[in-house]
Amino acid sequence: MLKAMIGKGVDPTVRKVFPFLFKRPINPNLLTVVGTLICMASAVAFAFDPFWGAVILCAGGLFDLVDGVVARHHGTESNFGAWLDSTLDRLVDMAVLLGLLMFYARAGEPGLVLLVGWVLVASVMVSYAKARAERFVEHFEGGIMERAERMGLVALGALVGILHPMLWIVAIGSTITVIQRFGLAYRAMNALEAPPERVGDEPTTSVT
């Protein structure tokens, strides 16, 4: 949802803030991998201190923001690049949440461990519902809590000290998104399977 709201405004903003990335060709896949490595470091930090985990996650997130813009600017977009970006995003999501789960486990907070586990399962289901639907429906989107919202709220909560309520929001929002995607997939696939209307099939009336 956030991604759709921001839309194409991201590209010119990124070009203004990071002009050095556009002066000469840069492999966008390299940016993706570097960003992933930074985010994986944030997952380790989350296991010890969520505040610093969030700081490092935001730094890694900048690479995730610019890699696609760089690819579009230099005309180096590729199917492999899109696959790599999406796959590593899932890896980061799981690693960050596992790091947070370990933090609460070490702190002896079983209730919060279960809450993070809920977020983890719901996040997997949100991503899986999209991946499976796109085998049948092109550009399947929808739901109130996509990846940008999930990671953004977790990072914000850790930075400003309201992580617990943010986790509840992410857990409930992600669950609602799974339900929304079930409905969207059902309608989209039924529309694809509906028999086409034949021209000239007008209802006949008898004249007496």
- Domain tally, the chain: 1
How confident is the prediction for the chain on average, in pLDDT? 87
Domain membership flag for residue 204 = no
pLDDT digits (tens, 9 = 90+) for 125-141: 999 998 888 888 877 88
Domain membership flag for residue 117 = yes
Q: What is residue 108's three-state secondary structure?
A: coil
Model pLDDT, residue 109: 96
Among residues 64, 67, 89, 93, the one annotated as catalytic is: 89
Domain membership of residue 123 as a residue range: 2-191
pLDDT digits (tens, 9 = 90+) for 89-128: 999 999 999 999 999 999 999 999 999 999 999 999 999 9
Domain membership flag for residue 206 = no
Active site residue 93: no
Model pLDDT, residue 30: 92
Q: Which residues of the chain have pLDDT under 70?
A: 1-9, 194-208
Model pLDDT, residue 102: 97
Domain membership flag for residue 198 = no
Domain membership flag for residue 43 = yes
CATH number at residue 31: 1.20.120.1760
Domain membership flag for residue 44 = yes
Model pLDDT, residue 201: 56
Model pLDDT, residue 208: 45
Task: Please report the sign of the dihedral spanned by the C-alpha atoms of residue 161, residue 162, residue 163, residue 164.
Answer: positive
